[in-house]
Every structure is written in structure tokens, then in C-alpha cells.
Amino acid sequence: MQTLPIISINLWEMLYALLNLLILYLLVKKFLYQPVKKMLSQRQATIDNEYKEAEEAKQKALSDKQTYEEKLSGAEAEADSLIQSAVQNAGQRELEILAEAKEKADGIRRQAEADAALELKKAEQTIREEIVNVGTLLAGKMLEREMNAEDHKKLIDALIDEIGDEYEGH
């Protein structure tokens, strides 16, 4: 019988293949696996650091947002207070202006009443003087002559004409 070379097992070749495999494994571990592992751990550290920085930035943004909202709330309250104060001041100023206007109007009214009373007294005085003048003129005319009904009528008409001329002259 003949032996087939394919089925045969060569122990030295197997040991040699195992030894090559072991050397190849050690070389790959030393020169490929360790640098790749080191690179991956550095990459992971960088990613972790970026996540940490992003989380810190997020926390800072939330803190800034809260501070901004507090300031905005305070500003709104202050604006409301200023508006309320301005409305109160405007109301007080309105009352002051109204009181001042009323006082001026009362003063003007009192002055107008005083002027009207003075003018009335002047007019009364003028009328009295005119009555006295008319009475004097009438008495003078009556004394100048004795009168009958026709003379009396003429005298009154003349007196009325003279009084009308005097008023037109004033």
C-alpha cells in the first residue's frame, strides 16, 4: 500500500507553524495591538473630555439663563415700579395744575367782578351826574320863562335833544 502524503502529519512542521503563529502573535501584540489600544484610550479620553466640557458649557448656559431671567424679572418689576411712580407723580401734578388753574380762574373771576362793580359804580355816578345836569338844565329852562303846554312840550323835546347830544359826545 501506498501512503498518501496529504494525510501525513509532520510534527516538526506543526511545531514550526505554531512557533510562527506565536511569534506573529507577539509581534502583532507588541507593535500593533498596544499602539492601537493606546490610541483608542487617548481618543476615548479626548471624547470624555469633550463631553465633560460640553456638560460644563451646558451647566454654565443654564446658570446664565437663570441669571438672565432673574435680571429680566427684576427689570420688569423695576419698570412696573417706575411706571406706577410716574403715574402717581402725573396724578399729583394733574391735581396741582387743576388747583392752580382753579385759583387763577377764581382770581380772574374776582377781578372781573371787582371791575364790573367799579364800572357799575362809575355808570351810576355818571347817571347821577346826568340826572343832576338834566334837573339843573330843566330848572334853568323853567326859570327862564313861564310855560304853557306848548312851551312845556317844546322844552321837553329840546331837553331830550340836548341829553341825546351829550350822550353821543361821550
Average pLDDT for 75-102: 90
Instruction: Measure Cα distances from 18 to 6, 14, 33, 153 in Å.
Output: 19, 6, 20, 173
Residue 157 has pLDDT above 90, yes or no: no
User: Counting beta carbons within 10 angstroms of the beta carbon of residue 96, is it exposed (0 to 12), middle (13 to 18) or buried (19 or more)?
Assistant: exposed
Query: In sequence order, what DSSP letters do the residues of 145-162 get, joined into one string?
Result: S---HHHHHHHHHHHHHH
Residue 2 has pLDDT above 60, yes or no: no
Distance of alpha carbon 139 from the chain centroid: 82
| 155 in Cβ contact with 141 (< 8 Å) | yes
Average pLDDT for 144-163: 74
Average pLDDT for 110-126: 89
| 139 in Cβ contact with 159 (< 8 Å) | no
For the chain, which residues make up each domain, given as ranges? Answer: 12-169
Q: CA 37 to CA 45: how far, in whole Å? A: 12
Average pLDDT value for the chain: 85
Q: What angle do CA 153, 155, 161 make, to 5 degrees?
A: 105
How does 135-146 read in b/e, with b if 16+ C-beta sit within 10 Å?
eebeeebeeeee
Residue 53 has pLDDT above 60, yes or no: yes
| 147 in Cβ contact with 155 (< 8 Å) | yes
Q: What is the pTM of this model?
A: 0.38
Q: CA 159 to CA 22: how far, in whole Å? A: 162
